[in-house]
Amino acid sequence: MLKLGVNIDHITTLREARYRGLPNGEPDLQAAVRICEKAGAYGITAHLREDRRHIQDRDLKMLREVVSIRLNMEMANTEEMIRIALGLKPEIVCIVPENREEVTTEGGLNVVGQLSSIRETVNQMKEAGIETSLFIDPDPDQIQACADSGAEFIELHTGAFCERFKTGDFEGEFIRLQKAAIAAHEQGILVNAGHGLDYDNLKQIHEVPHLIELNIGHSIICRSIFTGLEKAVKEMLVLMQGYGD
């Protein structure tokens, strides 16, 4: 069964638009977590960025206390974030590239170019009992580097495919995803995917083999404005049914 990790970053994006710098505000992140869990989510994903544009340190502490399912901390490979993750002890961290100027994460992590540093981080996480995922483009060299790093998971960056899907010219990017998933599986790496996935392109992802989990946030939060969060999560889970059949 394909599993759903709900990225809750944009709930706090909305909160911070009005209550930035204040200890409280709405929407209530804790209430959102409870709704996602009730709706059937497998995990909760939160990205603590260097500039703290949405998720705040206090949010992570609260999440560790209240999340009863799998907590996934997205993070840059920096000393600060490593220290926070080791103290927080989420079930899994996902190491992502980070650029302060970007609106959202642009492209995958260059594991090839920083293999030594990433391997060291993976080892630290393993010693603390935390799994590691590496957010990468569907590229053979990056997959080999992920295998060399010792990371248990990769998360395939589906952004290029999702952008192409809107135009109908997505076959090339889709084949890249399929080949990457197969290559990672052959290396013994577990495969997740995410970025840009929505209610329209999700069915196409059923043809990418070996997927364990999809991490989806923006489209779910957008739909929840009209349907409510519980229904938005449940509708996404319905679209995920039948994977692998």
Contacts of 234 (CB under 8 A, 6+ apart): 39, 40
For 45-70, how does the pLDDT look when each residue is reduced to its tens digit (9 = 90+)? 999 999 999 999 999 999 999 999 99
Catalytic-residue membership of 65: no
Per-residue pLDDT band at 103 (split at 50, 70, 90): very low
Catalytic-residue membership of 157: no
- The domain limits of the chain are 3-240
pTM of the prediction? 0.94
| Among the listed residues 194, 189, 209, the one whose alpha carbon sits nearest the alpha carbon of residue 111 | 189
Asked if the model's pLDDT at residue 102 lies above 50, the reply is no
Quick check: helix, strand or coil at residue 245?
A: coil
Catalytic-residue membership of 195: yes
Report the pLDDT averaged over residues 2-31.
95
Active-site residue, from 37, 74, 98, 131: 74
Per-residue pLDDT band at 114 (split at 50, 70, 90): very high
Per-residue pLDDT band at 101 (split at 50, 70, 90): low
What topology does CATH give the domain 3-240? TIM Barrel (3.20.20)
**pLDDT at position 104:** 52
**pLDDT at position 21:** 85
Active-site residue, from 47, 98, 131, 213: 47
Using CA atoms, how far apart are residues 202 and 245, in angstroms rounded to an integer? Answer: 15
Taking the chain, what is the end-to-end CA distance rounded to the nearest angstrom? 9
| Among the listed residues 1, 24, 53, 7, the one whose alpha carbon sits nearest the alpha carbon of residue 224 | 7
Q: Which two tokens stand for residue 27?
A: 């929407």
Active-site residue, from 157, 173, 195, 213: 195
Using CA atoms, how far apart are residues 57 and 202, in angstroms rounded to an integer? Answer: 32
